[in-house]
């Protein structure tokens, strides 16, 4: 299934896609839907019972941030084996983790407003994101896999100068409304990153990043299991799985985003994020 | 004023202290109270109008985690000048920041349950905590100072081996229910850390840390202003201001907490946290 948070005249609504139409699911967004124990059967029933032509005609531009209110957003740093090895490093024994806030996220086609202090070294990071679908504490990898609701895309836009001000990356990663997420949540029965999903990032139409999720060191299930050793994960929580090589910081000379640039993150089966950078005063 | 979240037969209640009694304030806890624009006048009115003997007799053991639901908990790393200088380092230009979750917090007298994976290198960190009292975006230091609701204490118990597994400290700092906070919120009109509050940590009755908030590099207002440059802060959000020298990791050999150990964090005017470490299976 593909689930989304659609924009309607009355606000937003959680919905399930059938062909090019969206069936509303009686919740304002996917954060609210996933908080309900019956989210999966609710969506399946709406899909099965919808009359032809029912629901709302959908275009990607009408998709809002699917998960506006995760309690936890946890991100993994270096995780693509090919990128780590090409940098001459050893594969890590443990995932490098940091946190974002729900406020850090923004929608799949939203403009990203960048205040002056964050304009000098803004960089892209295309990522696969995992959406938790069950409450998980101390989960094994098998339990974690069963507890994944599905997958979506994220662009972990990073303010590199602030990220490097101190040893802790957090302050370069937690600027409000700078991490596009979406466009949809594809449930785990329909897609498996361990089969290899090619994650692509393009800036102004030029391909900058390509990475297969097959080369991820810590799989989605491994990350979820690991994090659940120290903190409970709940339905709607979001885990970003790291970015492949090709970020602007790694170029010679480094290339950063400018006012008006468009960044696309896409993957077959997961859709695309397309966000324009807007420098503010 | 001293505000707290008291335990009652019906659950918890936000309350204001008058002598040794607590006046309930019609909210389940201080997170809920601070979310109301009139939190200050509500508390002042309850104080002013309470009849003699009104309210609930209070003992510290009846105080729960004052702020159970902050949307944001942001922590500052190295921040005590005397400790930084004694370590031979330069004073930092920018604060080192990382995040915790609401789930990471626990009450001022709660036992801290420590699962096996976190038992090898559990360390204490006594800290002053700042509680935000207004919505702040891009605040100046003066605006930040005016937007501080008040102060409380925190023990940023740290799982050092996990903290050092990777460059990012987060996974050693975000174990559920391991950061005692409280016992009360002392409003900013009643106490000023820039005057110098002595923060003390004792483990099993032995003093391990002492630091004056006068020697903090980034003041409470400076930290709040800095963080508000990249993310909005809201009433009830909590900022931990860093710990003075004397942590277990810095001893020769390092000393870590054991099952049954009692850690006290205290400061004149702010009360005390007293938490027993309980290793679980």
**Which of the residue ranges B38-52, B143-157, B161-175 would you say has the lowest mean pLDDT?**
B38-52
Mean pLDDT of A21-36: 96
Residue B206's contacts (CB-CB under 8 Å, 6 or more residues apart) are none
Six-digit token pair at A168?
């802790």
A101-129 burial code (b ≥16 CB/10 A, e <16): bbbbbbbbbbebebbeebbebbbbbbbbb
Determine the distance in angstroms separating the CA of B22 from the nearest CA of chain A, rounded to an integer: 32
Give B118's contacts in chain A (Cβ within 8 Å): 230
Q: Rounded mean pLDDT of chain B?
A: 95
**A280 touching chain B per CB within 8 A:** no
pLDDT digits (tens, 9 = 90+) for A37-81: 999 999 999 999 988 888 888 765 589 999 999 999 999 998 998
Of B102, B171, B231, the CB nearest to A176: B231
Is the link from the previous residue into A129 a cis peptide, with omega within 30 of 0? no
Mean pLDDT of B206-214: 96
Q: In this structure, are strands B11-18 and B21-24 parallel, antiparallel, or unpaired?
A: antiparallel
pLDDT confidence of residue A66: 98
Q: Which residue of A has its CA nearest to B94?
A: A165
Domains of chain B, start order: 2-62 (no CATH), 73-279 (3.90.850.10)
Residue B90's contacts (CB-CB under 8 Å, 6 or more residues apart) are B84
Structure confidence at residue B90 as a pLDDT band (50, 70, 90)? confident
Determine the distance in angstroms separating the CA of A267 from the nearest CA of chain B, rounded to an integer: 28
DSSP codes joined into one string, A55-115: SEE--GGGB--S-S--S-EEEE-S-BHHHHHHTTPPPPSS--EEEE-GGGEE-TT--EEE-
pLDDT confidence of residue A61: 52
B97-134 burial code (b ≥16 CB/10 A, e <16): bbbbbbbbbbbbbbebebbeebbebbbbbbbbbbbbbb
pLDDT confidence of residue A60: 59
Give A93's contacts in chain B (Cβ within 8 Å): 165
- Cα radius of gyration (chain B): 18
Determine the distance in angstroms separating the CA of B50 from the nearest CA of chain A, rounded to an integer: 38
pLDDT confidence of residue A173: 98
**B142 touching chain A per CB within 8 A:** no
Determine the distance in angstroms separating the CA of B147 from the nearest CA of chain A, rounded to an integer: 19
Single out the residue of A153, A156, A212 nearest to residue A185, CA to CA. A153
Residue A229 sits at the vertex; the CA angle it makes with A225 and A230, to the nearest 5 degrees, is 130
Mean pLDDT of B59-86: 88
CA A4 vs. chain centroid, Å, equals: 13
Q: Quick check: B61 pLDDT over 60?
A: no
pLDDT digits (tens, 9 = 90+) for B103-126: 999 999 999 999 999 999 999 999
What percent of chain B lies above the pLDDT cut of 90? 89
pLDDT confidence of residue A10: 84
Single out the residue of A163, A178, A197 nearest to residue A263, CA to CA. A178
The answer to whether the CB atoms of B96 and A229 lie below 8 A apart is: no
Cα-based distances in Å from B195 to A119, B144, B147, B212, B213: 37, 17, 18, 9, 8
Give alpha helix (H) positions in chain A: 30-34, 39-49, 81-86, 141-146, 160-163, 170-173, 220-227
pLDDT digits (tens, 9 = 90+) for A176-219: 999 999 999 999 999 999 999 999 999 999 999 999 999 999 99
**A170 touching chain B per CB within 8 A:** yes
Give B93's contacts in chain A (Cβ within 8 Å): 165
In whole angstroms, what is the distance from residue A274 CA to residue A202 CA?
9
pLDDT digits (tens, 9 = 90+) for B262-274: 999 999 999 999 9
Using DSSP, how many helices (H) and how many strands (E) does chain B show? 6, 18
Determine the distance in angstroms separating the CA of A53 from the nearest CA of chain B, rounded to an integer: 41
The answer to whether the CB atoms of B115 and A95 lie below 8 A apart is: no
pLDDT confidence of residue A82: 76
pLDDT digits (tens, 9 = 90+) for A79-129: 998 778 777 788 999 999 999 999 999 999 999 999 999 999 999 999 999
B265 within 8 A of B273, measured Cβ to Cβ: yes
Q: Which residue of B has its CA nearest to A137?
A: B176
**A165 touching chain B per CB within 8 A:** yes
Structure confidence at residue A19 as a pLDDT band (50, 70, 90)? confident
pLDDT digits (tens, 9 = 90+) for A228-275: 999 999 999 999 999 999 999 999 999 999 999 999 999 999 999 999
B180 within 8 A of B155, measured Cβ to Cβ: yes
The answer to whether the CB atoms of B167 and A167 lie below 8 A apart is: yes
Of A118, A166, A176, the CB nearest to B232: A176
pLDDT confidence of residue B38: 94
In whole angstroms, what is the distance from residue A113 CA to residue A116 CA?
10
Find which of B227, B231, B242 to mutate to test the A interface (most A CBs within 10 Å of its CB). B231
pLDDT confidence of residue A51: 85
How many CB atoms within 10 Å of residue B91? 11
DSSP for residue B233? B
Six-digit token pair at A222?
């491994």
Mean pLDDT of B153-168: 97
The answer to whether the CB atoms of A96 and B71 lie below 8 A apart is: no
């Amino acid at each position: 299934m593909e689930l989304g948070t659609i924009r309607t005249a009355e606000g937003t609504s959680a919905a399930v896609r059938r062909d090019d139409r969206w069936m509303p699911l009686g919740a304002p967004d996917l954060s609210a839907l996933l908080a309900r124990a019956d989210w999966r059967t609710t969506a399946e029933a709406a899909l099965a019972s919808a009359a032809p032509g029912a629901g709302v005609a959908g275009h990607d531009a009408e998709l809002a941030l699917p998960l506006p209110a995760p309690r936890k957003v946890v991100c993994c740093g270096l995780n693509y084996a090919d990128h780590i090895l090409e940098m001459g490093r050893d594969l890590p024994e443990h995932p490098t983790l940091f946190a974002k806030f729900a406020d850090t996220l923004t929608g799949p086609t939203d403009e990203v407003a960048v205040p002056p202090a964050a304009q000098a070294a803004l960089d892209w990071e295309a990522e696969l994101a995992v959406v938790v679908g069950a409450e998980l504490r101390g989960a094994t990898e098998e339990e974690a896999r069963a507890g994944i609701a599905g997958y979506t895309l994220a662009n972990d836009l990073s303010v590199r100068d602030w990220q490097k001000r101190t040893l802790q990356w957090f302050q370069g990663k937690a600027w409000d409304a700078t991490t596009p997420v979406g466009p949809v949540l594809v449930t785990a029965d329909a897609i498996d990153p361990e089969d290899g999903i090619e994650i692509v990032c393009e800036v102004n139409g030029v391909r900058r990043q390509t990475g297969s999720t097959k080369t991820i060191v810590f799989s989605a299930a491994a990350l979820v299991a690991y994090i659940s050793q120290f903190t409970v994960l709940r339905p709607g929580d979001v885990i970003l799985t790291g970015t492949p090589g090709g970020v602007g910081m790694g170029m010679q000379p480094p290339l950063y985003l400018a006012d008006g640039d468009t960044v696309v993150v896409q993957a077959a089966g997961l859709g695309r994020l397309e966000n324009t950078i807007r420098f503010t005063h």
